[in-house]
A = this chain, B = another copy of it.
Amino acid sequence: MTTSTTPRVCRGIGEFRTALAERLAAVPGEASLGLVPTMGALHEGHAHLVRLAREENAVVAVSVFVNPLQFGPDEDLERYPRTLEADLELLARCGADLVFAPAVEQMYPDGEPLVRVTAGPLGAVLDGASRPGHFDGALTVVNKLLNITAPPGPVPFRAYFGEKDAQQLLLVRRMVADFDLPVTVRPVPIVRDADGLALSSRNRYLDAGQRHAALVLPATLRALAAGELDLDAARARIDAEDQVRLDYLVVVDPRTLAPVAPAPGTLALVAAHVGSTRLIDNLAL
């Protein structure tokens, strides 16, 4: 049992790779590896990812890295919460074995990387339209993390991503296929607070009034899914909420992100600013 001990924290790439190899060598014949890439500021949504990884793998590693590449110049890189002590407590409870928490200089020793991943057309719409370069930066670091973590050939390797970042999940799947990366992508459903708000590290930016206002997002998604509102009415409902500024509310084909009429198998996606905090949510119809 590893569930009660604090996971080992590795700061350097070489140290992390060595620790992974040691842990995997300790479970010969049944070795498997789960990676949960995160930016830290962990909440119960992350805990679900780690617990699923724990159920499915002999060794569980969690990366904690606030990746500058995926933040725009006017975004919240500086104020993004860094809570490593609390993160480690949560990860100990969830049974993570290893935590890879590199400094920026360890991931990008020569400054920002010259060669990068580009997300292409699927990264230019929706969140990619609102956050230019975001998905290029996110895929660039996920590709690095997968390469750093990838275990010896025949060992099953699974990486866990939350469904809340639906566009990111689609793009990671696409990258894994397009790059022939030796990893299985495991999606994990959204975790919500009792009031329906999807868990997010950015929820801690919200004051009480903003948090109440933000509930219009999941409520509108539910009404859309139930057929109680059409898209125009759903948008109007969000627009009517003080303190909430809608970025987009769309229904898309989940494989292409192309807008489609609401129907079973489609996905409703929403993004909005609540105060200065940008939130996203989604619901399968």
Contacts and interface: CB of A to CB of B under 8 A. Distances in A.
Interface of A: 13, 21, 110, 113-123, 136, 139, 143-144, 147-148, 150-154, 171, 174-175, 177-182
A15 to B, nearest CB: 14
A115 B174 contact: yes
Contact of A115 (B118, B148, B151, B154): B118
Given A151-B153, A152-B154, A153-B152, A179 B118 contact: no
Contact of A117 (B21, B115, B154, B180): B115
Contacts of A152: 152-154
A184 to B, nearest CB: 14
Given A21-B153, A152-B154, A178 B115 contact: yes
Contacts of A139: 115
Given A118-B115, A118-B118, A144 B179 contact: yes
Contact of A118 (B117, B151, B153): B117
Residue picked from A110, A122, A154, A178, most chain B C-beta under 10 Å: A178
Contact of A114 (B110, B174, B182): B174
A150 B147 CA distance: 11
| Number of copies of this protein chain within its complex | 2
Contacts of A177: 110
B178 A113 contact: yes
A227 to B, nearest CB: 32
Nearest to A110: B177
Contacts of A123: 115
A135 to B, nearest CB: 9
A171 B113 CA distance: 12
B13 A147 contact: no
Most chain B C-beta atoms within 10 Å of own C-beta, residue among A154, A171, A179, A181: A179
B116 A118 contact: yes
Nearest to A123: B115
Contacts of A144: 178-180
A115 B13 contact: no
Q: Most chain-B CB neighbours within 10 Å: which of A110, A118, A171?
A: A118
B120 A180 contact: no
A270 to B, nearest CB: 24
10 contacts: A113-B178, A113-B179, A114-B121, A115-B119, A115-B139, A115-B171, A115-B174, A118-B118, A144-B180, A150-B150
A249 to B, nearest CB: 24
Contacts of A110: 177
Contact of A181 (B147, B151, B175, B180): B147
A23 to B, nearest CB: 13
By Cβ-Cβ distance, the 5 closest A-B pairs, closest first, are A113-B178, A152-B153, A152-B152, A118-B118, A115-B175
